[in-house]
Amino acid sequence: MLNIFARASVNRVTDPIGASLVRIGLTPNVVTVVGTLGAVVAALWLFPAGHLFAGTVVVTAFALFDLIDGAMARALGGGTRYGAVLDASCDRIADGALTSAIVWYAFAVADNRTLAAAALICLVAGQVISYVKARAEASGLSADGGVVERAERLIITLVGTGLSGLGVPYALHVALWVLAAGSVVTVTQRLLAVRRAAMEETA
């Protein structure tokens, strides 16, 4: 949902940055890979060590690279098909690493199985949300939308880790269970959207 309402405002900020990076010779694919590697390393290094606030700050910084590579692609007149596949694949890697790191934290540091269960639900559901869309599009159908797309998942997760790192009680628990519920709803919404699209084609 945030993609719809915030895209124009975000683009006004990121487009000049993207154009500047293109002028100095960088490519969107390089920025995509660097951002992903940074987010993965930061998540798997800092969160399992219990550094929730530091991890939140660093992962957020690298997550912003995902906005910049899109701005660079627009500055070049549009992205390539390979770039789109690379970007989507890197998003899945970064998301999986982030949630896996939180699962690791929940088991190894917090020693809280309830928190780990919520994180595991988020991990699986987040990947399924993206898979349903990709599989639907490969079949010529539409599966956009849902209450928690990637932007919402990142924001909810990182707000939870950040507040928890600052000592706010149960912030991560609340964030993950809200996200788990929203993710399950989103999977259902996308499957229903695919069903509607398929029925419209056969009508």
**Where does the pLDDT of residue 6 fall: very low under 50, low under 70, confident under 90, or very high at 90 and above?**
low
pLDDT at 16: 87
Structural domain boundaries, residue 12: 2-202
Q: How many domains does the chain have?
A: 1
What is the tens place of the pLDDT at every residue in 113-167?
999 999 999 999 999 999 999 999 989 888 878 899 999 999 999 999 999 999 9
How far apart CA 159 and CA 123 sit, in angstroms, is 17
pLDDT over threshold 60, residue 3? no
φ/ψ of residue 28, rounded to 5: -55, -40
Q: Which of 55, 169, 155 is nearest to 105 (CA)?
A: 55
Q: Which pLDDT belongs to residue 152?
A: 94
Is 91 a known active-site residue? yes
Task: With a cut of 80, say whether residue 202 has pLDDT above it.
Answer: no
CA–CA dist 69, 107 (Å, integer): 34
Tell me the DSSP string of 13-59: HHHHHHHHHHHTT--HHHHHHHHHHHHHHHHHHHTTTT-HHHHHHHH
Output the pTM of the full model: 0.90
Say yes or no to pLDDT of 5 above 70.
no
Instruction: Provide the pLDDT confidence category of residue 93 given band limits of 50, 70 and 90.
Output: very high
- Active-site residue, from 15, 91, 95, 144: 91
pLDDT tens readout for residues 162-189: 999 999 999 999 999 999 999 999 999 9
DSSP tally for the chain: helices H, then strands E: 8, 0
CATH number at 176 reads 1.20.120.1760
Interval 9-63: pLDDT, tens: 677 888 888 889 889 988 999 999 999 999 999 999 999 999 999 999 999 999 9
Do 172 and 156 form a contact (C-beta atoms < 8 A)? no
Which carries the bigger pLDDT value, residue 2 or residue 49?
49
Comparing C-alpha atoms, which of 143, 145, 146, 149 is closest to residue 194? 143
- State yes or no: pLDDT of 4 exceeds 60: no
- Return the structure tokens found at 182: 């929203």
